[in-house]
Amino acid sequence: MENKTAVITGGSRNIGLAIAEKFYTLGYNVAILSVSENSAKKAATNIDNTGNKVIGYRCDVTDVSCVEETLANINSHFGGIDILVNSAGILDMASIEETSIEEWDNVMAVNLRGTFTMIQKSIKYLEKSKHPRIINLSSNSGRMGGFENGMAYSASKGGIIALTYGLARRLAKQRITVNCIAPGTIESDMSAARSPEVLKKLKERFPLERFGTPKEVAAAACYFASDDAGFTTGSVLDVNGGLFMG
């Protein structure tokens, strides 16, 4: 894996960070993207302080020019891009009645449009790779609507699954596989934002009676990124403790 480069949006925290750490241990070059430059660089330094294998970049996935510039810089630094992991996302927990247009648009801009923009602008780099991979992060709420999150979040995550299916068909001729991970509730900043009462109710719904960990989601990403997954595209892998089975 020494010559492969992975780009991970939302890579400075939670699931994205766990994927970055795991990819690094497997020998990948890793570009960590975050809307905060300090967070991106700090995460990169904590993984590898040499500045050679892991680099942090500020990138706002809602800003097309920023995405284009960041990808060009990564390609220039590492000499190519082989894997794109779209992990950047924001949560909303507003009720249907209280969801504002601004909040709806913001969640869609980051979670859904940001994912598409990253993919769209990465294609010209990925198609030069011998084993190009796109890995999207959806959610259990995109599978079955969720229980406690807002509708903007559910809709954006459902959109990511549909996007995965469509892109897998369209990009197959370029040998680019497109797959998706749909986690259930994971121990993260997002879950920590919920009240203890809500967390208790959520945990009771899981057949395995616990939440998942970022490392368990990272393990799924490792499969999709591997050479062994070359015949797997358009798949959604549920890492959710049995909450959704279908």
Residues labelled as active-site residues: 153
CA distances from 119 to 60, 62, 94, 197, 207 (A): 14, 12, 29, 38, 34
State both tokens at 131.
């084993």
**What is the edge-to-edge ordering of all strands in the sheet holding 177-183?**
54-58, 29-34, 5-9, 83-86, 133-137, 177-183, 236-239
State both tokens at 33.
């993207």
| Cross-strand partners of 5 | 29
CA distances from 9 to 89, 102, 147, 205 (A): 9, 23, 26, 30
